[in-house]
Amino acid sequence: MHPFLKKLQQGPLLFDGGMGTLLYARGASSEQCLEELVVTRPGWVMEIHQSYAAAGADIVKTHTFGANRPRLERYGLGDRVRAFNFAAVKLVRDVREVAGRAIFIAGDIGPLGFRLPAPETPGYQRAEEAFREQISVLWEAGADLLLFETFGDLEELALGVQVAKEICDLPVVASVTYTEDGRTPAGQAPAQVVARLQAVGADVISTNCSVGPSQMLRTLKAAHDAAPEAMLCAMPNAGFPQRLEGRLSFPASPEYFARHVPLFLDQGAQLVGGCCGTTPMHTRLMRTALDKTLAGERYGGVIVLSPPAEATPDLQISSATDYAEEGAGPTSLLRKLQAGKFVISVEVDPPRGFTARKQIEGAKHAKAMGADAVNVADSPMARVRMGALSLCVQIQQQAEIETILHFTTRDRSLMGLQADLIGARALGVRNILALTGDPPGLGDNQSSTPVYDVDSIGLVRIIDKYNQGVDIGGREMGEKGDFTIAVACDPTRDDLADEVDRFQRKVGGGAHFTMTQPIFDPQRWLDFLAVYRERHGEFPVPVLIGVLPLQSHRHASFLHNEVPGITLSEEALERMRKAGSEGRQEGVRMAQELMLQLKESPHVQGVYLMPSFGRYELACQVLEALTPEERGG
């Protein structure tokens, strides 16, 4: 099951609120294309997204409601469909990184802006292509679900849902707007709407816009009565707009909205949120109402509201796993490798903000699925993120699973390297992946200056000195460092001889195991192994092979052509192309097949999984191909 639908089965979720009125308040003009603001005024859009995330929204909509070709052509922007939709998703992804918690990204799709012609006509085909174009970009860019909203034409909405189901595997929320009489503008009743949308495969059937909470409640009840088993959603306007002093004003207060949350839930709503005129304050009080309702704090069907309390993360440390006091000797990870166990690690990228709740939840999920360790990247692609050591400590304390710290020489002087290693040892982080690190010019901080007093080979030698109980100058440390040292290798490089020779110098400095770049063909590893044996003899250390589950053909093509260090086989690219809308499932199957083949390859003693877009549940599905005995700590 898709992670969004699985989460929805566990309990109701909260959408964010309106976008347009908040943009107008910042100075946007009613004459301009609002969707263009994702590239001309991204700060405005991001501020609004951040406000909704801070208010407690579980789902944030991309600012792409009118970013389809027919609507953009009215402004002479028809060729910017890809640019606007991709940028819009990235803005929400950036907000999610800063929020540090699990937020779903809803790719927002509105009506095409023209009357849907009869099937088999050129106009109908134009509509199909417009939906296909926008959906494809939203899917590729990393949306978690698709929201079709504010549709008055049921057949146009049904067409959009059908296209989505044909080309991707994202869950679909299909939302109709109703008039005051409880019918669509074309006259369909809620029972007709529900039946039609169920027939085309909509996962959630919604109503939004046009009316306020009270009238929407009646429409929702009619839909629930017609199909009690259906998952429903309600996102009303903040009442009917009024024009005051040249601006639109909406009368429904946040408190009024919040009082309707338990009533919406009573009528089958699994998703609630707001539409035109709603603000982050509406969302904040709806969050409080939703939480109180789920906790049973109700009186006469209406909750008693109080100001929302600040969230306080659970920072308790389990006495069962105190890594800082583990004592001398090999780490648990090294003991498993020495015992011949097939070791599993899952990679986590630190957040760009101050909170790592999402990453910690991902680590807990990885542990539950049988992972032995979580490896934490160090500002990958030279993009500034929370310090990797800080996240390692939080994960070991709160998720109670061992970590592998990616440790680069890019940002640290020789003195800083040694000081940080001593600090890591004191904090109980003793598995170190020694890396040189991506140059700052590759990332988002062009003014940053690289250090590179030593490279990864020199770093391995420094750590090995600590393991002997002395520092790089030969001074006694009082005890041995007991670090487990990992190094990287890239079996996908064209010049394998050069890669093998450099790898040999790393291993010669004292490394205990190696972790590879992601590969998609077992032959890549066998070729690397053959060149090593030819030049240096028997391979010296266990290997954890990088496995990256692909999401779609576009995702595969992007990685192959635009991400340094990732090379896909032609077979992998072709399989993802043929998979079409089943790309996510095919990506997991390919990763499972690769893992099982690699288990039988020489020196391969584990894998480390690399989630794309922070989708830990998807990456961990790969582990379902192993027996319970093969995974489980």
Positions of E strands within 417-457: 431-435
Q: How far is CA 550 from the centre of its chain?
A: 13
User: Does the structure show a pLDDT above 50 at 600?
Assistant: yes
User: Does the structure show a pLDDT above 50 at 307?
Assistant: no
Positions of E strands within 373-494: 373-376, 402-408, 431-435, 484-489
Report in angstroms the alpha-carbon separations of 359 from 56, 95, 237, 347, 405: 18, 14, 34, 10, 14
Region 329-625: CATH code: 3.20.20.220
Average pLDDT over every residue of 426-433: 95
Map residue 442 onto helix, strand or coil: helix
How many CB atoms are located within 10 Å of the residue 57 CB? 26
User: Does the structure show a pLDDT above 80 at 308?
Assistant: no
Instruction: List the chain domain ranges.
Output: 3-303, 329-625
Poorest-confidence range of 363-372, 561-570, 575-584, 609-618?
561-570
Question: Residue 39: what pLDDT?
Answer: 97
Tokens of 269: 């709503």
Adjacent-strand bridge partners of 248: 243
Smallest CA-to-CA distance from 105 within 182, 30, 4, 185 is with: 4
Fold match, 3-303 / 329-625: yes
Question: Residue 461: what pLDDT?
Answer: 94
CA distance 131 to 127: 6
Region 3-303: CATH code: 3.20.20.330
pTM over 0.85: no
What's the pLDDT tens digit per position in 317-330? 333 344 444 445 89
Q: How confident is the model at residue 376 (pLDDT cuts 50, 70, 90)?
A: very high
Average pLDDT over every residue of 402-410: 94
Question: Residue 239: what pLDDT?
Answer: 58
What's the pLDDT tens digit per position in 165-213? 999 999 999 999 998 888 999 889 999 999 999 999 999 999 998 788 8
User: Does the structure show a pLDDT above 90 at 243?
Assistant: no
- CB of 518 closer than 8 Å to CB of 568: no
Q: How confident is the model at residue 440 (pLDDT cuts 50, 70, 90)?
A: confident
Smallest CA-to-CA distance from 201 within 61, 5, 14 is with: 5
Burial of 77 from C-beta contacts in 10 A (0-12 / 13-18 / 19+):
middle
